[in-house]
């Protein structure tokens, strides 16, 4: 079996945050059941569908451009990217055997986050697991995408950022000089950061993959799954940053569902970018 085949893009990350039973309850309380016959699609690439699924029975193939990406097993979530980003499907999901699943549409997904903010944390752990696997594959195949002067990442507007800063008065803005390395690949994580002013370059093996501007966030992956940093963050210009530790991060997700949804959207867009090749 090849290294690429060994990468499982659907299995939830091992995390104290992920609770399979809670995920199932979120789907079953608000969602709808669907049965798909063997060989039939749940959705196809390019389709404007906003459903995300939790597979209960059977197996599902995820296919892009006639290439098998992965096989979804019972208890695993798939199709969440379209529900989070509301963009067309980037892959096709075909039932390998007769399947039964429960799905949430975009409206039900928002309701699930409002009712159970921990659901956002569980989805983050899934997306981060996939991002780390995508990063590992890009390193093996030397196909790390290059930012090449693309647009800056901005997640929150100025007023929202001010609100977050006001909620953390004990932590004044962290000021760093241009060219300062905020953290490096392999470092342990203590904080995630919101950029108040300036620009931060995110790089993997010295190749810039993202430029984060005011209102953008970085460093949240390692804070969620408590793994080593997957990338290096370096100040492109003099910067002012709001540092958020794990406790504050979890409180924000649980107390402000919109914060969790915004981070999910940012992670989904990052994953879409990393899998597109840039």
* Residues 134-176: tens digit of each pLDDT: 777 777 877 777 776 667 888 899 998 888 888 888 889 999 9
Read off the pLDDT of each residue in 183-194 and give the average, rounded to a whole number: 92
Q: Is residue 123 part of a domain?
A: no
Per the domain annotation, does 137 fall within a domain? no
Q: Per the domain annotation, does 133 fall within a domain?
A: no
Would residue 264 count as lying in a domain? no
pLDDT digits (tens, 9 = 90+) for 15-54: 455 577 888 888 989 999 999 999 999 999 999 888 999 9
Q: Are residues 108 and 28 in the same domain?
A: yes
| Domain boundaries, position 58 | 3-116
Distance separating alpha carbons of residues 224 and 219, to the nearest angstrom: 9
* Domain annotation covers residue 122: no
Per-residue pLDDT at 72 exceeds 50: yes
* pTM summary value: 0.77
Residue 181 lies in a domain: yes
Contacts of residue 65, Cβ cutoff 8 Å, sequence gap at least 6: 45
Q: What is the CATH number of the domain that holds 63?
A: 2.60.120.10
Give me the number of domains the chain comprises: 2
pLDDT confidence of 276, banded at 50, 70, 90?
Answer: low
Of 116, 131, 159, the position where a domain reaches its end is 116
Residue 66 included in any domain = yes
């Amino acid at each position: 079996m090849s290294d690429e085949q060994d990468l499982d893009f659907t299995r939830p990350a091992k995390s104290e945050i992920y609770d399979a039973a809670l995920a199932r309850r979120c789907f079953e309380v608000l969602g709808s059941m669907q049965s798909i016959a063997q060989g039939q699609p749940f959705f196809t690439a390019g389709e404007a569908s906003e459903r995300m699924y939790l597979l209960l029975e059977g197996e599902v193939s995820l296919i892009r451009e006639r290439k098998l990406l992965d096989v979804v097993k019972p208890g695993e979530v798939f199709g969440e990217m379209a529900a989070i980003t509301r963009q067309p499907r980037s892959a096709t999901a075909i039932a390998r055997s007769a399947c039964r699943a429960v799905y949430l549409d975009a409206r039900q997904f928002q309701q699930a986050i409002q009712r159970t903010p921990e659901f956002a944390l569980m989805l983050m752990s899934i997306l981060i697991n996939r991002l780390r696997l995508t990063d590992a594959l890009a390193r093996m195949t030397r196909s790390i995408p290059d930012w090449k002067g693309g647009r800056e990442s901005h997640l929150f507007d100025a007023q929202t950022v001010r609100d977050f800063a006001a909620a953390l008065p004990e932590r004044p803005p962290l000021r760093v000089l241009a060219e300062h390395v905020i953290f490096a690949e392999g470092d342990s994580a203590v904080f995630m950061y919101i950029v108040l002013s300036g620009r931060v370059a995110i790089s993997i093996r010295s190749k810039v993959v993202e430029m984060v501007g005011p209102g953008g966030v970085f460093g949240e992956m390692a804070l969620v799954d408590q793994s080593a940093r997957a990338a290096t963050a370096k100040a492109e210009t003099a910067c002012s940053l709001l540092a958020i530790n794990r406790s504050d991060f979890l409180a924000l997700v649980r107390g402000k569902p919109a914060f969790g949804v915004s981070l999910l959207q940012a992670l989904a867009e990052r994953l879409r970018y990393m899998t597109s090749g840039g």
